Amino acid sequence: MNVLNEAEVTFPTLNSCCYQRKDSSLRSLTSDATNRHSGDHFKSHFGTENNVGKVRLIPTTCKHQVPLVFHEPHMERGFRVIGQPWTYYFWSIFQLHNETVNVWTHIMAFGLMASKMVSFSFEVDFVNDSHTWPLLAGLLCGMALYCCSSGAHCLQSRSELVHYTAFMFDYAGIGLYGLGSVIMHLEYCSEDCFYDFAHSVFIPCGCIFAFLICFCCSISKTIYTRPYPFVRKIWQLVPVGGIYVLLISPIVHRLVLCYVYGYDCNESIPYHIQQMFWFASSGFFFTSEYPQKLWPRLCDHFFHSHQLFHISIMICTLKQMDAVFIDFQTRKNLIELRPLPSFWSAFGPVVTVCLAELLCIYGFSKQMKRRLDSKSASH
């Protein structure tokens, strides 16, 4: 296979967990590679990358051969070896390990979100019709969510510092998606009485919550070590729950008007209900350790709760985009009576929060680098 400087990629078969291997020297080498950030000792034996551009995917190992930060509850096998070249982790998406499904579910979600944007573009004018700009902002934020998530799960195993930094970008993507949803729901899904009451504070509050998701989740990632206490979930769930309550409030208002008063029950309502159901499902899988808690080791590669969380979020966002687009089409007369969105009102909050999140990631990443360097020096 000739790709990327004629790199040769070899796909190994999945090895059993390292504690089942009888070759003690292999165990020693794997452990040695784990403890060295560069991974040079491991590469000299396994030929992960050499001067002619060969890339070989190393068999996965068990949790006892990787640092504590990479451990996951009730998972024993399928961990990638740390300290390898970047190319190894990119190519490892074609290898079976405990992040493969996490990566591919959100690569697929990114593609589906992009396809929705393309299909919508055949029906609306994203360039000249400023009423479509909040929709475009929401679609781009959804794509950012999946790009950050799949990238984080793909690359996080390279080193402890990369692990921390990659998931900070993941948190930033979650915040951006929440902000995009706030912008879309206010513009297209709210009733006039709700819009008039909340429009002056709705998006500023969304910006604050979006940044807090990145900030608070980064705090929870850096100050706690495994096994994580439950308070770490509080740090994560409070800002995420806050922005969800905000963004779903115009939908709840619509549902009350529809089912209590029989007002404005258009065809988007079932899609909104479905996206709320799938968001609740994603919350359950994110906060729980099921089903892997019931069947330790059996969910190392498939049906882990985080994989089910990914799938639930993917379905949630796709249902949401369908609902928002239906609202945009069926409520256009109402939407056009509102102030014309400007480029700044649609994309300015996204750019502002994005820059703030990058500064947040930079600060926490520098802090973690100093801590890890100090830890290495002490050893």
Q: What is the pLDDT of residues 63-98, one digit of tens each?
A: 899 999 999 888 899 999 999 999 999 999 999 999
Question: What letter does residue 58 receive in the DSSP assignment?
Answer: P
Encode 256-277: b = buried (16+ Cβ within 10 Å), e = exposed.
Answer: ebeeeeeebeeebbebbebbbe
* C-beta of residue 240 within 8 angstroms of C-beta of residue 213: yes
Q: Do 137 and 341 contact (CB within 8 A), yes or no?
A: no
Q: In angstroms, what CA-CA distances link 149 with 13, 99, 107, 110, 120?
A: 26, 11, 9, 10, 24
Residue with tokens 């996951």: 72
15 SS3 class: coil
pTM of the model: 0.85
CA dist 344 and 377 (Å) reads: 48
CA gap 28, 338 in Å, rounded:
67
CA–CA distances in Å: residue 69 to residues 65, 73, 250: 12, 11, 40
Taking Cα atoms as reference points, which of 35, 363, 63, 69 lies closest to residue 221? 69
**pLDDT at site 25:** 38
DSSP letter at 48 equals S
Where in the chain does DSSP place strands (E)? 8-10, 54-56
Positive or negative, the CA dihedral 62, 65, 66, 67 is positive
Between CA 154 and CA 289 the distance in angstroms is 22
Task: Report d(CA 14, CA 282) in Å as an integer.
Answer: 30
Identity of residue 179 = L
**Which residues contact residue 174 at a Cβ distance below 8 angstroms, ignoring those fewer than 6 apart?**
145, 148, 213, 214, 217, 240
What are the start-end ranges of the H helices in 191-304? 192-223, 230-261, 269-287
DSSP state letter for 174: H
Nearest by Cα to 105 from 378, 363, 309, 365? 309
* C-alpha distances in Å from residue 235, one per residue of 100, 170, 216, 320, 368: 27, 15, 6, 26, 18
CA dist 367 → 36, 218, 222, 231, 362 (Å): 20, 11, 9, 21, 9
Q: Are 120 and 139 in contact (CB under 8 A)?
A: yes
* Other beta carbons within 10 Å of 94: 11
Length of the chain: 379
What pLDDT was estimated at residue 138?
97
| pLDDT on residue 54 | 61
Q: Where do we find the tokens 């300015």?
A: 348
Burial of residue 133, with CB atoms counted within 10 A of its CB: 0-12 exposed, 13-18 middle, 19 or more buried = buried
> What's the start-to-end Cα distance of the chain, in Å?
42
pLDDT of 155-213, one tens digit each?
Answer: 999 999 999 999 999 999 999 999 999 999 999 999 999 999 999 999 999 999 999 99
Low-confidence ranges of the chain (pLDDT < 70): 1-55
Cα dihedral 168, 170, 172, 177, rounded to 10, equals -170
> CB of 185 within 8 A of CB of 250?
yes
